[in-house]
Amino acid sequence: MTVENLRIGVFVCDCGSNIAGAVDTEELREYAETLPGVVASIRNKYTCADPGQQEIQTAIRENNLNRVVVASCSPTSYEVIFRGCVEGAGLNPYLLEMANIREHCSWVTPGDREAATRKAKGIVKVAVARSHWLYPQDEEQVPVTDAALVIGGGVSGIQAALDLADAGHPVFLVEKQPSIGGIMAQLDKVYPDIECSI
């Protein structure tokens, strides 16, 4: 998609003082507005809360957005929620990009507002650029064999096999040596109990 056809909305989250305490989020919002393809730049107090999500959905409809960038926390926290949010406004859920300005910026750049704001701008700039290359994705369900193959019967392999089995999956553990245990099995005693290793 060419930049002319892009209609990107950027949503900058304060996260209360978690982000706004370290980053000038208004300056960041204004900066995001200048980035190629951005047609709306909005600041929310708590983007993941209902009012924040409603603002995203309203902005998608009012501005006919075709990409959404949320500048907030780690995607591991709320990416799934934001995908559902944009989908609720009629946008493919994979046309969402996240910029982690909390764990990667405000939390780790304390006491220097200027440096933190500069860093946040860089993170948002990259996320907006990445969003240019997003394409709609369809989710499909395919049949899989519910079983795991673990290659290597060292300590890591044994533990992985046990964890998978505990999770209820059949496990096949393959080891090229005649016995399992790997390097661990060659040790005499192990720290801290000074017990036999096997």
Which residues here bind ligand SF4, judged by CB under 6 A?
13, 15, 18-19, 46-48, 72-73, 77-78, 102
Minimum CB separation of residue 30 from ligand SF4 in Å reads 19
Token representation of residue 48: 């993941």
Shortest CB 63 distance to ligand SF4, Å: 20
Pairing of strands 38-44, 8-13: parallel
Both tokens assigned to 186? 């060659």
What's the closest the beta carbon of residue 90 comes to ligand SF4, in angstroms?
21
Which CB atom, from 6 or from 73, has the smaller least distance to ligand SF4? 73
Of 76 and 159, nearer to ligand SF4 (C-beta) is: 76
Determine phi and psi for 132, rounding to 5 degrees.
-60, -30
Most distant CA pair in the chain, distance: 70
Judge whether 79 and 96 are in contact, CB under 8 Å: yes
> Under 8 Å CB-to-CB from 125, ≥6 apart: which residues?
35
Least Cβ distance, residue 40 to ligand SF4 (angstroms): 18
